Amino acid sequence: MSRPNLSEIITRMQTDVSEELSGSNPTIKNSFLSAIIKSLAGRYNEFYGQLDLLEQRLLLLNSEDDFLDAWGSVFRITRNSATNATGNIIISGDVGTNIPASTEFQSSEGNQYTSTSSVNITAYNQVGVLNVTGLTVTVTLSSHGLASGMQVQVVNASNPALGGTFTITVIDANSFIYTITDSIGDGNKGNANIVANFATVSVKSSGFGLEYNLVSGSILTLTNAISGLDNNAYTSLGGISGGADVESDESYRSRILFRVRNPISDTSISGLENILYAINGITRVWVLPITPAIGQCTIYYVRDGEDDIFPSPTDITSVRAKIPTPAYIQETDIIVDAPTEQSINFTFASISPDTFSMRKAIEDSLKQFFEESIDIGAKLSPVNTITENQYIKPILNAVDSETGLSLTDFTLNSPSGSITVANANLPTLGTITFL
């Protein structure tokens, strides 16, 4: 039976009173009976609303807040709490200077971070291989441990133009780049010593939440100056990560529903997925059995919503530690890793209508497609392939938000045809160019 609205409740009560009190007219405006009926009808209407809300909250598909927590407790699934962000920062200074535990640093947003152990500034002097392209010098040296934004000295280089003090940008764990002012020709320029005095400091955010995560090369400043230390520190490769907000109702409900619909066993695909989804911040998981060999299992995951959705090596190590290994399985046979990003660029020769808001609509539609409809290569349908029809459909669905007009025509220069995706690759939306 459908819920009556306020007008229907008033009409029914007026009818009932007329039948019980012969000769009365409860419909007369401002009469005693009319006032009583309308007052009571308003309260009954509120009761109907509360009953509707209670009915919705009692159902798992609609429940929220404490009602959802109660559902989770039935299946022994708890809502993920907010977590701190952790990582390493690099700070330069005089050799021997101590950075005590509990030293405070602050980000440009005003968020606080505290060192978790005591460490001293040490001298760093490693030999790197220099390759020049234009004015960019790429230095290759094993596990350098440096950070984007810090300064290093380059000494004993084959050409004076390559030497001096430079601010670097870290590319990966084994290479970084810096810029020179004079062109000396491209190619390998031999070796040079990379010199710096710094310490690697482990830090933890003082607060909880996603806002405390920082990308590689972010600047932190000392809250209180320490003699012998630079004021600025820089986040290491991988940044500061792991900070997450209290799990939302939507995410929590999704995990409960997943548990209801999938029986649990620690070594089953659904069991491993349940373990990963219970880690705050993890949004997509792919479990590949018999990968890369019989008896092995590889797990990939990402953290949508963060600046870099692909987990860092530190985060991967932390997540792997939370996955139990049965006695009959080798520890090394359960592999946790980040998928490899495969950025897909789109170039449009023309679109019609060609407006700013239509371009934005196409961008939003493609972004949603890559975030909601794309898996790693091994899980795509068809496997290892994004078909032309699949990526054309979101383009055709674009609607100009200002005019309400749909896209009527377009010419796409690239990509063209099907896109091949390797097993461990996760396609992401690259740059969109309108010529």
Write out pLDDT tens, residues 387-398: 999 999 999 999
Instruction: Count other C-beta atoms under 10 Å from residue 274's C-beta.
Output: 20
CATH of 262-337, one of 3.30.300, 3.10.450, 3.10.20, 1.10.405: 3.30.300
Q: CA 165, 170, 171, 172 torsion: positive or negative?
A: positive
Q: What is the CATH number of domain 86-241?
A: 2.40.30.20
Instruction: Using alpha carbons, select from 263, 398, 266, 259 the residue that is nearest to residue 323.
Output: 266
User: Tokens 């229907």 sit at which residue?
Assistant: 8
Q: What pLDDT does 112 receive? A: 97
Most confident region among 5-9, 57-61, 272-276, 373-377 by mean pLDDT: 373-377
pLDDT over 90 for what percent of the chain? Answer: 65
pLDDT over 70 for what percent of the chain? Answer: 98
Q: What is the largest CA-CA distance in the chain?
A: 112
Q: What pLDDT does 119 receive? A: 97
Flag whether pLDDT at 222 surpasses 90.
Answer: yes
Average pLDDT of the segment spanning 225-239: 95
Average pLDDT of the segment spanning 196-208: 96
pLDDT band with cut points at 50, 70 and 90 for residue 258 = confident
Flag whether pLDDT at 292 surpasses 80.
Answer: yes
Flag whether pLDDT at 178 surpasses 90.
Answer: yes
User: Tokens 């710096």 sit at which residue?
Assistant: 196
Considering only 14-28, 137-151, 413-427, which range has the smallest mean pLDDT?
Answer: 14-28
Can you tell me whether residue 32 is helix, strand or coil? helix
Contact assessment for residue 193 and residue 145, using Cβ atoms and an 8 Å cutoff: no
Flag whether pLDDT at 265 surpasses 80.
Answer: no
Fold matches, 86-241 and 262-337: no
Average pLDDT of the segment spanning 78-104: 95
Work out the mean pLDDT of the chain and round it to a whole number.
Answer: 91
Radius of gyration for the chain, computed over Cα atoms and rounded to the nearest angstrom: 31
Flag whether pLDDT at 184 surpasses 80.
Answer: yes
Label residues 240-271 b or e (16+ Cβ within 10 Å = b): bbbbbbebeeebbbebbeebeeeeeeeeebeb
Contact assessment for residue 82 and residue 246, using Cβ atoms and an 8 Å cutoff: yes
For residue 244, give the DSSP letter: B
- Which residues, listed in sequence order, are joined to residue 157 by a DSSP beta bridge? none
Find the distance separating the first CA and the last CA of the chain, reported in whole Å. 58
Flag whether pLDDT at 154 surpasses 80.
Answer: yes
Number of H helices, E strands in the chain: 8, 22
Flag whether pLDDT at 153 surpasses 60.
Answer: yes
Spatial separation of the C-alpha atoms in residues 69 and 341, rounded to whole Å: 36
Q: What pLDDT does 326 receive? A: 72
Flag whether pLDDT at 28 surpasses 90.
Answer: no
Beta strands in 250-296 (DSSP E): 284-289
Spatial separation of the C-alpha atoms in residues 196 and 158, rounded to whole Å: 19
- Which residues, listed in sequence order, are joined to residue 296 by a DSSP beta bridge? none
Query: What does each C-alpha distance from 2 to 48, 240, 309, 361 come to in angstroms?
Result: 11, 53, 46, 39
Q: Give the residue extent of every domain in the chain.
A: 6-58, 86-241, 262-337, 340-434
- Which residues, listed in sequence order, are joined to residue 115 by a DSSP beta bridge? 203
Flag whether pLDDT at 70 surpasses 60.
Answer: yes
Instruction: Count other C-beta atoms under 10 Å from residue 410's C-beta.
Output: 18
Q: What pLDDT does 1 receive? A: 56
Contact assessment for residue 307 and residue 293, using Cβ atoms and an 8 Å cutoff: no
User: Tokens 């819920």 sit at which residue?
Assistant: 3
Token pair belonging to 192: 């040079």
Q: What pLDDT does 6 receive? A: 87
Residues in the chain: 435
